[in-house]
Structure 1
């Protein structure tokens, strides 16, 4: 079984791994040196800490620019259909597979730490196996090395083959739809940056201290929510289901968070940092949004109701 997302979030890899191939950079995809997003450093003001039942129901500033799971699946599938058309020009049958089944993609329920009490009681800090995202990664297991070169456009020790598009047929497929997966990764970088800053904020640090005190009163000694999520006792065998000790700890964790309005406070801090980052990157974000909206129209035309 897999573990829940921790607060030390990493960049999602769907765009570059699970979906087989990357897209072209958008015209506005100019980054700062080293690829680091433009991010202010001064702590933003937080005026309220509302009660939030689920982060999925909260409106975050970066949501305006981020594709939904369904939109992502449509863009990916249309791009793969265009890839198949390109491969056909080279006499190669390429199976685009089916639409991705992104059951957990964009699900933010436990994105700021375990929140769901029912989940804690059943799975502890492990993911519900029924919610794993399904990736169509084996639809073309028989491609030869030469065919893979045409698909991806590069192979160690081989010069460009005449007629193969830049980045191969996969690159052509993404370009025809007009979808830049690099933009999607950049948006994830911005979201991760906001999240990291939110947890480093002094208001979050104070909240974490209160949570740690609550946990101690329940008999558990942890300094922060990452420590409890990543307790090595739960992960000696990552494929094993959660045991009673893990579930009891998870329940105490969730109940302490509810007592402290942890999710409401952390959401308000996160919103403030996301808004600050949006304002610092507004021009490129609006350019990315416009490009994505056009790509969705292109994808709809490619799919033609399929």
Structure 2
């Protein structure tokens, strides 16, 4: 079975904080500590002042400042489909009939912020526990058809296990009098879509890091720590002892195929205590303030990324329109 490179998925670590904990490796291609924030390593975060805090039960319909610099699900799907089409067209030039494997279906929240701050609906939590409906079980990876070594060479530019398929280090060979593109047909498709960088079609590293880092740093802000303390007291009164919402979400006891009665009770209490103490409103306000601060410091680089997204999506639309 041959493994083929595919475009990256957007919204790494904190699109779905709740399900990510329950599914272990389900949500992020890189942990908050590994991708690194857009500041000097080890530097302390300057906590912003937050002058206005909305009253929120859920943040599902709120956007975060970093959103314009990240791919939406629709944009990501369009880029994936365009890459597949361009790859197949390239393979035809080399005399191969090739169908790109369908993307593996994954759980997606309705919006990037729907579960960013954990469960927020007491009624849904009482039914599903801490994992939203459909997120508890990771889908099985799609089966890829076996292809010959000759076809793989044209597709990815290499048969060498030490060379990354589809990368700029692959390709350049001659197949039946025709030169294989850099990275093979996959590499050619990525280059056409301006997606040949390290993210390989996914989100750029800088906005992704800001998105992750603001979530992590927000938990250390005085306002968030204070509201977490109120939430913790509320949970204690319900019979659950946790220092903060991520501790309740990440309880190893919940890593089961189905939600237990105790998990459902804890999740319902979690959501109710959030609502009573405006945890989501405070957390969102601080998260957004940290992002605005990071965006201001990196405005020039982020402007280029936003422009690149517009160009990439426009190219993808033209490809899909034929």
Q: Above 0.5 in TM-score? A: yes
Question: 2:146 aligned with 1:142, yes or no?
Answer: yes
Match of 1:258 among 257, 262, 275: 275
From 266, 271, 276, the counterpart of 2:293? 276
Aligned residue for 2:230, secondary structure, equals helix
Identify the residue that residue 12 of structure 1 maps to in structure 2: 28
1:62: Cα distance to partner?
Answer: 0.6
For residues 58-101 of structure 1, the C-alpha deviation after alignment (integer angstroms, 9 at most, x for no partner) is 13111122222111101110011111112223322221355776
- Separation (CA, whole Å) in 1 of partners of 2:223 and 2:108: 29
Establish whether residue 38 from structure 1 lines up as the match of residue 38 from structure 2: yes
Could you tell me how far apart the structure 2 residues matched to 1:45 and 1:227 are? 26
Aligned to 1:128: 133
For structure 1, which segment, 259-268 or 101-110, has the greater mean C-alpha deviation from structure 2 after superposition? Answer: 101-110
Counterparts of 2:211 and 2:26 in 1: how far apart (Å)? 10
**Paired residue for 1:177?**
193
1:60-139 pair list within 5 angstroms: 60-97=64-101, 104=108, 106-129=111-134, 137-138=142-143
Cross-structure match for 1:248: 265
Contact 2:19 2:26 (C-alpha < 8 Å) held by counterparts = no
- Between the aligned partners of 2:90 and 2:191, the Cα distance in structure 1 is 12
Gap regions ≥5 residues in structure 2: 1-16, 164-169
Are the counterparts in 2 of residues 101 and 133 from structure 1 also a CA contact under 8 Å? no
**Structure 1: gaps (5+ residues):** 15-33
CA distance in 1, matches of 2:26, 2:37: 15
Superposition CA RMSD, Å: 3.2
CA contact (8 A) 1:198 1:266 kept: yes
Distance (Å, rounded) in 2 between the aligned partners of 1:169 and 1:144: 15
Cα distance, 1:131 vs. partner? Answer: 9.3
Whole-Å Cα distance in 1 between the matches of residues 125 and 297 of structure 2?
37
Task: Return the alpha-carbon distance in structure 2 between the equivalents of residues 57 and 127 of structure 1.
Answer: 17
Provide the rounded CA distance (Å) in 1 between the counterparts of 2:187 and 2:60.
33
2:248 paired residue among 225, 228, 233? 228
Q: State how far apart, in whole Å, the 2-side matches of 1:269 and 1:10 are.
A: 26
Contact 1:51 1:261 in 2 (8 A): yes
Q: Relative contact order (alpha carbons < 8 A, sep ≥ 6): 1 or 2 greater?
A: 1
Q: Distance in 2 between matches of 1:297 and 1:178?
A: 11
> Which of the numbers 228, 238, 252 marks the counterpart of 1:208?
228
User: So what's the TM-score if we normalise by structure 1?
Assistant: 0.80
Instruction: Output the TM-score relative to the length of structure 2.
Output: 0.77
Whole-Å separation in 2 of the counterparts to 1:132 and 1:166? 38
Question: Alpha-carbon deviation of 1:304?
Answer: 0.8
Q: 1:227-248: CA deviations, max 9, x gaps?
A: 211212211xx3x210111101
Pairwise CA distance, 1:113 = 1.9
